[in-house]
Structure 1
Amino acid sequence: MATPQLLTAYAGHWTGEGTGVTVILPPPGTVGSGEVRGGAPATREFALLEPGRLVERVDAVVLSGGSAFGLAAGDGVMRLLRERGQGFPTDFGPVPIVVGMSIFDASVATDPPGAEQGRAAALAAFGGEPFGIGTVGAGTGATTGKWRGTPSPGGLGRASGRAGTATVEVVAVVNAWGDVLDGDSTPVPAVATPFPMGNTTIAVVLTDARLSKLDCHLLAQSGHTGFARALHPAHSRYDGDAVVALATGEVDGADLDLLRAVTAEVMAGAIRAAVRLS
């Protein structure tokens, strides 16, 4: 099998006309949790990610365009993983745990991605295809700054950092109602009618630290801190802002609070990278 593109996880894209799918496939046994803070989310299996739920592992995270329609991309990933014998073991065979998050792009009115496109992105991940950033995969149809009435390009960004012996890597799809900020920038918005759809920033935090499901939930919360540092405004009623945090468990003894501090900074960096490369 090809070399993983993100730490020990495989990652791949399917890129279409104005929309796309990005799939992240962590190693077996990866622990995950997540949190939604935006007012208009399009998500799959997020209730399962709550710390009190039975299942701790996550087999795949699917980022897609197409809003709620695009969540169907997870079906193709789920079927592919079952064919490969991956998933939560049951008496009737493995049930892959596939989490999904979607942004609202123009494909909602035309041809949103579905199961076939999700499968294609997962096969690209397993095949070791280069994992590009910018206007690729789920970031293809993304825009920002819609609160000003003059949208700017968004996209998919990636950044990483070290927290002691552990590593944190973030993939973010930036399709925000607000603006992306540099560290010392403050936007001056024009008077504009709020655009009630077409928004959402979604992201995956991946670390090689060994963490519990509750720890991952706290890491996802710190990812949202990064949203607030790099997006203005963040977490509006018009955004479906959501973060999934995954811990693959190769590194023992990582300091959780240091991981959380690094995650916030790395998230902000990934969001800024999405715009610089679009």
Structure 2
Amino acid sequence: MNHSSAPVAHASRGAITDVAGIEVGHHTDQRRPTGCTVVIARDGAVAGVDVRGAAPGTRETDLLDPSNLVQQVHAILLAGGSAFGLEAATGAVRWLEEQGIGLDVGVGRIPLVPSAVLFDLTVGNMQIRPDAAAGYAACAAASRNPPPQGNVGAGAGAVVGKMFGLANAMKAGIGSASVRVGGVTVGALIACNAVGDVISPDNAQPLAGARTDDGRGLRDTQRSLLAGVAPRPLLAGVNTTIGVIATDAAITKVQAHRLAVVGHDGLARSINPVHTMSDGDTLFALGTGLAGEGPGMLVLAAMAAEAVARATEQAVLSARSITLDNGIVLPGLADWSPAHP
């Protein structure tokens, strides 16, 4: 399989690491496009989650319910590999424990690492998937620097536009963005593996997704479906966009949940169709509180939706083309134009 692992940086739109108290690390498996990504809050962060897709793969999301006891988590783990990839969270927990990070339970500390996975098993050898060693390596690589984007980490095997078959799809990846109002920042990190197209948040025109049969242009999945073009049969859960929203505003657990909910508005502005029966779209929200009081939930919600939309856009703008072992070429926008597939 021929694939480029070189990340493409788009720092002009910011990154989730602009949020005080947030670190990001990737591990990319060079044997095939897959990997995992960790978002670390060493001092803990108030957290929420919203699962909107119909086929999610998650771990430890129940503790984020606002009515449940635990108020803070220490990391969020995103991974490829479908359900197998949830094992990567075990490695993240081990690394965090070694660093003395976690919930103090008297006899030790328990790191809390809610996780979500996306399906990339059709991109290369499915026997290769993120494991505990991958999660550990992602944590060891974490920093406050703007994270690499594109074909790395949880976005390494991400593909978009699969409604009419993998051969007509395009490569996607992982992207990040941030928005700042006053002294408060909201950032997002999105691994986009949607069955639908990624569209421009500015004008709703398709950027990457299902291509025409000759491979030279974009089909526009939504228009095709409404025109009566039949989609290919899809298994539930073989897609999914997952991500993390973070802010340094002081928020409650209830407010963190609300930010995760409204973050899906950003997905709806950048993916079409979104939240399908074949997607397991899941967004987490973190609040480190290091900037103090924020501008209020109305503004924070608008910032969260904007950051998610921009990060999703970056996930395809940064993606590079790959060629699968069966000869299928999945073009990425970083090195493809519609006239030259």
SS in 1 for 2:42: coil
1:184-229 C-alpha deviation (Å, 9 max, x unpaired): 2353335321422420000100111000000000000111111111
1:26-53 C-alpha deviation (Å, 9 max, x unpaired): 1313111111010000111110111111
> 2-side partners of 1:194 and 1:233: how far apart?
16
Q: TM-score, normalised by structure 2?
A: 0.77
2:257 matches 1:217: yes
Q: CA 1:90–1:120 in structure 2 vs 1: closer, same or farther (change >3 Å)?
A: same
- Amino acid aligned to 2:195: W
> 2-side partners of 1:212 and 1:152: how far apart?
39
- Amino acid aligned to 1:89: D
Task: Specify the alignment match of 1:113 in structure 2.
Answer: 130
How many angstroms does 1:164 deviate by?
3.2
> 2-side partners of 1:129 and 1:210: how far apart?
23
Is the Cα–Cα contact under 8 Å of residues 248 and 290 in structure 2 kept in the other structure?
A: yes
How many angstroms does 1:57 deviate by?
0.6
SS in 2 for 1:71: helix
Is the Cα–Cα contact under 8 Å of residues 12 and 129 in structure 1 kept in the other structure?
A: no
Task: Specify the alignment match of 2:292 in structure 1.
Answer: 252
Task: Specify the alignment match of 2:230 in structure 1.
Answer: 191
1:13-36 C-alpha deviation (Å, 9 max, x unpaired): 111121011111113131111110
**Equivalent of 1:27 in 42, 45, 49:** 42
- Amino acid aligned to 2:159: T
**Equivalent of 1:266 in 307, 312, 325:** 307
Task: Specify the alignment match of 1:176 in structure 2.
Answer: 194
SS in 2 for 1:125: coil
How many angstroms does 1:250 deviate by?
1.3
> 2-side partners of 1:93 and 1:151: how far apart?
48
Is the Cα–Cα contact under 8 Å of residues 177 and 195 in structure 1 kept in the other structure?
A: no
2:279 matches 1:239: yes
Which stretch shows the higher mean deviation, 224-233 or 105-114? 105-114
Is the Cα–Cα contact under 8 Å of residues 144 and 178 in structure 1 kept in the other structure?
A: yes
Q: TM-score, normalised by structure 1?
A: 0.94
- Amino acid aligned to 2:24: A
CA-atom RMSD, angstroms? 1.7
Is the Cα–Cα contact under 8 Å of residues 66 and 108 in structure 1 kept in the other structure?
A: no
Percent sequence identity over aligned pairs: 40
Q: CA 1:5–1:220 in structure 2 vs 1: closer, same or farther (change >3 Å)?
A: closer
SS in 1 for 2:89: helix
1:212-267 C-alpha deviation (Å, 9 max, x unpaired): 00000000011111111111111111111000000010122211110101111111
Task: Specify the alignment match of 1:78 in structure 2.
Answer: 93
Segments of structure 1 that go 5 or more residues without pairing to the other structure are none
Task: Report which of the two structures shows the higher radius of gyration computed on alpha carbons.
Answer: 2
Structure 1 residues 88-167: aligned runs within 5 Å: 88-106=103-121, 109-125=126-142, 131-149=147-165, 150-167=168-185
Is the Cα–Cα contact under 8 Å of residues 204 and 269 in structure 2 kept in the other structure?
A: no
Q: CA 1:129–1:246 in structure 2 vs 1: closer, same or farther (change >3 Å)?
A: closer
Q: CA 1:253–1:104 in structure 2 vs 1: closer, same or farther (change >3 Å)?
A: same
- Amino acid aligned to 1:184: N
> 1-side partners of 2:119 and 2:150: how far apart?
17
> 2-side partners of 1:29 and 1:110: how far apart?
34
Is the Cα–Cα contact under 8 Å of residues 23 and 60 in structure 1 kept in the other structure?
A: yes
> 2-side partners of 1:253 and 1:52: how far apart?
23
Is the Cα–Cα contact under 8 Å of residues 32 and 56 in structure 1 kept in the other structure?
A: yes
